[in-house]
A and B are shown apart, each in its own frame.
Chain A
């Protein structure tokens, strides 16, 4: 089956959804990624990526409850599908494989 590779943002989103388990709605996912990577995410870009992931069938979404701290608006809670887990695993494996044996090189060069 031909497939396009996972983008970096897509990768991060999948991991974040897995970490958050059943609390993985939009704001929480973005906040989690920002906390872990220390960078500022654009909401718009993240939603586009989420839509892309849904279209590829890598994540699923179900309606969650609203809350007053978000203006009473609905939440969509995301979960990673079986295909999504497989693809994430492949992607991570590819990266780990590539990383193997690089640790000493990275240490000796100091800051890249």
Chain B
């Protein structure tokens, strides 16, 4: 029976499970009784705190009681028998003592221990998390594939020396199919296409056309309906599709009736014959949702003109066939194609094991990002190990006298080493656990989209066995580096005669200073990298575009194939309606959005003068008003001039062309030659406008504008008078009124720039995260080095102060020592960064990796932080009372 004034139920629950392990039932009763006494005297809150403290006491003593019970049972040693216990028992007893000693030191030195543990945990945690991302992209088992064994990816390369990949043609596929090395082979091609389901708004989904045997090769199973039969794959005009389970569940509610129903792909109805169980395609970056037999391409009118090109081929090797023999066979087969087909061209097959090629070769940029992350976190791990090793070494040296005493009274060398090992590995083990927890947290952070929103593949990032093995390896390595080495060093020092100890200590101090300098150097490299990456992003964002991005919206429209013939009418009507809508200031039409693709051209005054390379852009007359590009001289196109692209027609040039061709003279009314579709045409200049940026990364290029005509795809540049969000709604509504089936993607220029810079931003953020961790490690490193050295010199400081040295002099001494170490570190860091920066260069825009200002700021930051970290131990050293110091010795 428990009356109401007993301890809280949850504490009693814990007590009932904990206390009897150490004592007995009666002990529970004792606790209960004394709780009531205390509750009566000091109140329930105080009594509850007391009760919890008691339970903690039980928890802490539990292992001691266990070991004691075990040892007592085995030897009877504790009962006072004088017969020597067997050596195994002695070993156990020693081990027990060592463990207890380690535990005590951990509690006594808890702040230093916490710093060491945090340092190691940061190293293990970040490198494991980064590896998890790497692992996920590299080794992620492709979901939905039944049998992944002997699968290979096949790419085609123009020749052996070119690093680029070309895409496979039907001829390549046919040649590979005839090869005996393969058990099966299929090809596919993926594109984002508008898909409309159940009468809703169409949206962009990744649609993949697949060749014969695709699903059979990958051993994909249907969750509803069926997959393609052999005769359906390449039969022309077969508008059928298999959809992903994800799409089926999210858009169709997982309804079996959806099988047999139609969805619209690019406006053409396609019958869904089945749903693929958990399959999401083979692309490593984006998930696929719809698969069409390649024969349907014709029915959908998807790819017209030119040679059909596959993205990639996948195959299953015959058992016993090696990658290199498959490669040789394929290359031999391709050579025959080269001779038959385009004459001189030869092709090389590149065969990768597995279904992912690492980062997806299409995603060259990803590779860069991953290398940055991997090398950054590797540096950080190294830094953490160096830091922790230094701290543990200092920690071991602190108990030098204790060790010397123990050796003097007969402790064996082995015993000393073992005790130190147990001591350092206890810390490392705790750090490993903390580090793995940190990794799990970081992985969760990556997955939650906050850091890497543009990488959808990270959504199912997990802590799988490979990551666990990696973490264990890293942790073990860390323990070896940071734990065992200092233990052996310290033991060696202790074992030598005490006279040598001070010499050794000096050597250890040098080692310590070198380690600290190395930390500062590595941190500087990371901080400088983060600095230039951040500065690069900032510069990208602040590029002077030459037009006004404020409240500028773009919407790119491609009329459905059925309506393609009337595209011009459609665009004209939309332009009229948009211009007439309140809330919209101006509407300009061009074939593509700004900062995107552009047409190259050459411009010259007469055929004799060397041509200036430039850009050709077709625009409507209101384009300049919509973009707010200033008209410097002359006028823009008139309504009558619309569609007038012919020779002798009007042209507008920007200031760069004007300056280049005519210098200070007026360009108005002059004629220029413009290369268009490989023909030089003569145009009459009617206006000069301001220069604009065509890419965030490049300097401006001379631009010639001609009137827009016969567009099949158009981008509307809309200058909104109302806030962008409202403007986007207005534009969306108007387009839908005209054609409810169009995929509409209204963007602000800002979001467009965001998208263009997203990779740089992720790189910068990742580098910043690593740099912050590295900086934290450097602070901890300098701090603990300074306090260790200050502690070791306590006696010296005491004597000096007794002889009249001022506190400031002592402080200056400690801070100065740390400052010298930091200065060496900073200098080394600059060299390290100068060497490593070449790998950074490709990720940077409009800033050099060796940007003097950024490096100077990083140096200043590191130096200031290092000196600041040494200041606290310096003050502590100077505060010590000289008499106390001297007596302590």
Query: Interface on A for B, CB 8 Å cutoff?
Result: 1-4, 25-27, 30-31, 42-45, 47-48, 51, 55-56, 66-76
Q: Which residues of B are found within 8 Å of A42, using beta-carbon distances?
A: 54, 57, 61
Question: How many residues does chain B have at the interface if contact means C-beta atoms less than 8 Å apart?
Answer: 32
Once A2-B82, A31-B34, A44-B22 are accepted as A-B contacts, the answer to whether A75 and B58 lie under 8 Å apart by CB is no
**Distance in Å from the Cβ of A1 to the closest Cβ of chain B?**
8
User: Is B737 located at the chain interface by the 8 A CB criterion?
Assistant: no
Q: Is the CB of B29 within 8 A of A44?
A: no
- The listed residue (B3, B28, B72) touching A68 by CB distance below 8 A is B3
Once A43-B54, A44-B54, A55-B78 are accepted as A-B contacts, the answer to whether A73 and B26 lie under 8 Å apart by CB is yes
Q: Which residues of B are found within 8 Å of A2, using beta-carbon distances?
A: 80, 82
Q: Is the CB of A70 within 8 A of B33?
A: yes
The CA of A42 and the CA of B50, in the complex, are separated in Å by 10
Q: Is the CB of A71 within 8 A of B23?
A: no
14 additional A-B pairs beyond A3-B80, A48-B61, A71-B28, beta carbons within 8 Å, are A25-B26, A26-B30, A31-B34, A31-B37, A44-B60, A45-B57, A47-B22, A56-B80, A68-B1, A68-B3, A69-B33, A70-B32, A71-B2, A73-B32
Q: Is the CB of B61 within 8 A of A30?
A: no
Q: Which residues of B are found within 8 Å of A26, using beta-carbon distances?
A: 26-27, 29-30
A-B contact pairs, 28 of them (CB 8 A): A2-B80, A3-B80, A25-B26, A27-B29, A30-B34, A31-B37, A44-B22, A44-B60, A47-B22, A48-B64, A51-B23, A55-B72, A55-B79, A56-B80, A67-B33, A69-B32, A69-B33, A70-B30, A70-B32, A70-B36, A71-B1, A71-B2, A71-B28, A71-B29, A72-B2, A73-B26, A74-B25, A75-B26
Q: Which residues of A are found within 8 Å of B147, using beta-carbon distances?
A: none
The CA of A73 and the CA of B1, in the complex, are separated in Å by 9
Instruction: Give the contacts of B2-19 with A (CB-CB under 8 A).
Output: 2-3, 6, 12
Instruction: Give the contacts of B47-66 with A (CB-CB under 8 A).
Output: 54, 57-58, 60-61, 64-65
Q: Which residues of A are found within 8 Å of B1, using beta-carbon distances?
A: 68, 71-72
- The listed residue (A48, A56, A67) touching B22 by CB distance below 8 A is A48
Q: Which residues of A are found within 8 Å of B171, using beta-carbon distances?
A: none
Q: Is the CB of B33 within 8 A of A44?
A: no
Most chain B beta-carbon neighbours within 10 Å: one of A30, A48, A69, A71? A71
Most chain A beta-carbon neighbours within 10 Å: one of B25, B31, B60? B31
User: Is B255 located at the chain interface by the 8 A CB criterion?
Assistant: no
The CA of A43 and the CA of B31, in the complex, are separated in Å by 8
What residue of chain A has the Cβ atom nearest to residue B62's Cβ?
Answer: A44
The CA of A56 and the CA of B82, in the complex, are separated in Å by 15
Q: Which residues of A are found within 8 Å of B65, using beta-carbon distances?
A: 48, 51
- The listed residue (A27, A31, A44, A74) touching B57 by CB distance below 8 A is A44
**Distance in Å from the Cβ of A78 to the closest Cβ of chain B?**
10
**Distance in Å from the Cβ of B155 to the closest Cβ of chain A?**
67
The CA of A69 and the CA of B33, in the complex, are separated in Å by 6
Once A43-B54, A48-B22 are accepted as A-B contacts, the answer to whether A75 and B29 lie under 8 Å apart by CB is yes
The CA of A47 and the CA of B62, in the complex, are separated in Å by 11
Q: Is the CB of B58 within 8 A of A43?
A: yes
The CA of A44 and the CA of B60, in the complex, are separated in Å by 9
Most chain A beta-carbon neighbours within 10 Å: one of B25, B26, B28? B26
What residue of chain A has the Cβ atom nearest to residue B27's Cβ?
Answer: A47
- The listed residue (A47, A48, A56, A71) touching B6 by CB distance below 8 A is A71
**Distance in Å from the Cβ of A65 to the closest Cβ of chain B?**
11
The CA of A78 and the CA of B858, in the complex, are separated in Å by 70
The CA of A45 and the CA of B61, in the complex, are separated in Å by 7
User: Is B678 located at the chain interface by the 8 A CB criterion?
Assistant: no
Closest 3 pairs between A and B when the two form their complex, measured CB to CB: A73-B29, A27-B30, A26-B30
What residue of chain B has the Cβ atom nearest to residue A75's Cβ?
Answer: B26
Q: Is the CB of B61 within 8 A of A25?
A: no
The CA of A47 and the CA of B82, in the complex, are separated in Å by 27
Q: CB-CB contacts of B76-99 with A at 8 A, as 1s and 0s? A: 001110100000000000000000
User: Is B24 located at the chain interface by the 8 A CB criterion?
Assistant: yes
Q: Which residues of A are found within 8 Å of B36, using beta-carbon distances?
A: 69-70
**Distance in Å from the Cβ of A93 to the closest Cβ of chain B?**
20
Q: Is the CB of B60 within 8 A of A43?
A: no
The CA of A56 and the CA of B57, in the complex, are separated in Å by 23
- The listed residue (A31, A44, A55, A74) touching B26 by CB distance below 8 A is A74
The CA of A66 and the CA of B178, in the complex, are separated in Å by 89
**Distance in Å from the Cβ of A82 to the closest Cβ of chain B?**
17
The CA of A53 and the CA of B886, in the complex, are separated in Å by 43
Q: Is the CB of B58 within 8 A of A44?
A: yes
Q: Which residues of B are found within 8 Å of A47, using beta-carbon distances?
A: 22-23, 27
Q: Which residues of B are found within 8 Å of A51, using beta-carbon distances?
A: 23, 65
Q: Which residues of B are found within 8 Å of A71, using beta-carbon distances?
A: 1-2, 6, 12, 28-29, 32
The CA of A25 and the CA of B23, in the complex, are separated in Å by 13
**Distance in Å from the Cβ of A75 to the closest Cβ of chain B?**
6
What residue of chain A has the Cβ atom nearest to residue B59's Cβ?
Answer: A44
Q: Is the CB of A43 within 8 A of B57?
A: yes
The CA of A88 and the CA of B34, in the complex, are separated in Å by 27
What residue of chain A has the Cβ atom nearest to residue B6's Cβ?
Answer: A71
Q: Is the CB of B27 within 8 A of A43?
A: yes
**Distance in Å from the Cβ of A20 to the closest Cβ of chain B?**
13
**Distance in Å from the Cβ of B376 to the closest Cβ of chain A?**
47
